[in-house]
Amino acid sequence: MSINLTNIHKGYGAQVVVDDVSLEIESGELFVLLGPSGSGKSTILRLIAGLTPLDQGGIALHGRDVSLLPPQQRGVGFVFQNYSLFQHMTAEQNIAFGLEVKRVPRSERQARVTELLQLIEMETMGKRYPHQLSGGQQQRVAVARALAQRPEVLLLDEPFGALDVKIRAQLRQNLRAIQTQLGVTTILVTHDQEEAFELADRIGVIDGGKLLEVGTPDQLYRAPKHRFTATFLGNANLFPAHRNGSKVYLGDQHLPAPPDTDHLTGQPVEMMLRPESIEIALNPTDLKGSVLGQATVTQLAFAGALERVTVQLEDRVLQVLIHPAQSRQLGIRPGDRIWLGVQEYHLLATNHHSGAG
């Protein structure tokens, strides 16, 4: 186990910032802590790095208890949201700083700096000062600086937060490539679910200081255990339901219960329908999945690759995503009556977590 958090806790006065978080991260894994701002995710990172003192609990890195160690002795590479490059040092000097501190011989230091500059594809820019570099370049230097001492753990706090969308996508790929190549155990903090999906081996969803659930991107998207996860990781249509026998009842409709949901029998549950898993047809016989019922189209909106259709099914409003081609084929317009079907749906327990969303 590379990173092991045991019941860590941090509060400022009455305000709890990190609430009893336990987490195990495998060697070489890229783990993403995902949550809204103020959820405590950055604090967890700072607790691991030793920049914020721990109130309770334990932190072990590669089996070494570091809970009480100062940041200097934790062997952690840290990339800050604003990169925090040393403004009075060149890119090279920034990268070499940690090696200098560790009294690495000059020649070795030079070799390592060259190697890292190659890794971040900035071989020719070593002599530049941070203010002579673009945001993306600064970010890469910050990553290289954090990696210079070959840390056991790399921590990145919103590393793409200050960059525009285009550069972000490219840098993500670079980072993922570097991380895979070096195999360094990494925790990345973000509030961007798209980023989390693209980078993460596993994601931990955090809200209100609590680690709600941990899973692969796919698990969390398709089968979240928490309403918060369901909504934070993309759009979700959520409706109160109940499971009985082999059926799930959603108002008058009933659908076959999804597998492995026996434990939810008899308790209040919510049904989650991802907009893209709902299908629209003019006749119920054209639906491939289970029939939800007949609904009225209230709104059509262009949403890039897909078209967002808002429909009203009895007293419920649903968001549906369909291909524009299909939309054209159906020729639907607001006010039209259409049939809704669903191919994939998920049940989660109600009242499990009522934290701020």
Partner 1 sequence: MRKFVLIGLVLSYAGVLLLAPMLALVINLLEYGLDTIWAAITTPEALLALRLSLILALCSVMINTVMGVLIAWVLVRHQFWGKRFFNAVVDLPFVVSPVIVGYVLIVLFGRQGWLSGFPVQLAFSTAGMLLVTVFVSLPFVIREVMPVLAAITPEQEEAAFTLGASHTLTFRRILLPILWPSILYGIVLTLARSLGEFGAAAVAGGGVQGVTETATIYVYRALQDRNDVGAYSIAVILGLMAVGILILMNWLRPQEGKKHVD
Nearer to partner 1, 12 or 86 (CB): 86
Residue 214 binds to partner 1 (criterion: CB under 8 A): no
Contact 283, 268 (CB under 8 A): no
Residue whose C-alpha is closest to residue 2's, from 59, 63, 44, 50: 63
Dihedral through CA 124, CA 126, CA 127, CA 131, nearest 10? 110
- Which segment (43-51, 165-173, 175-183, 252-260) binds partner 1 by CB under 8 A? 43-51
Q: Which of 11, 53, 70, 183 binds partner 1 (CB under 8 A)?
A: 70
DSSP code for 55? S
Q: Which of 35, 40, 98, 224 binds partner 1 (CB under 8 A)?
A: 98
Residue 239 binds to partner 1 (criterion: CB under 8 A): no
* CA–CA dist 33, 214 (Å, integer): 9
Nearer to partner 1, 85 or 184 (CB): 85
Closest distance of CB 82 from partner 1, Å: 6
- Pick out residues in 108-137 that bind partner 1 (CB under 8 A): 129, 131
Q: How far is CA 210 from CA 169, 213, 342, in A?
A: 29, 9, 32
Q: Which of 15, 37, 87, 181 binds partner 1 (CB under 8 A)?
A: 87
Residue 13 binds to partner 1 (criterion: CB under 8 A): no
Q: How many residues does the chain have?
A: 357
* CA–CA dist 125, 303 (Å, integer): 40
Q: Which of 49, 61, 205, 292 binds partner 1 (CB under 8 A)?
A: 49
Instruction: Number of helices (H) and strands (E) in the chain: give both, helices first.
Output: 9, 20
* CA–CA dist 272, 278 (Å, integer): 11
Please give the backbone phi and psi of residue 118, each rounded to the nearest 5 degrees, phi first: -65, -45
Residue 67 binds to partner 1 (criterion: CB under 8 A): no
Closest distance of CB 179 from partner 1, Å: 18
Nearer to partner 1, 27 or 82 (CB): 82
Q: Which of 53, 56, 86, 286 binds partner 1 (CB under 8 A)?
A: 86
In this structure, how many other beta carbons lie within 10 angstroms of the beta carbon of residue 264? 20
Chain residues that interact with partner 1, rule: CB under 8 A = 49-51, 70-74, 76-78, 80, 82, 84-88, 97-98, 101-102, 129, 131, 145-146, 148-149
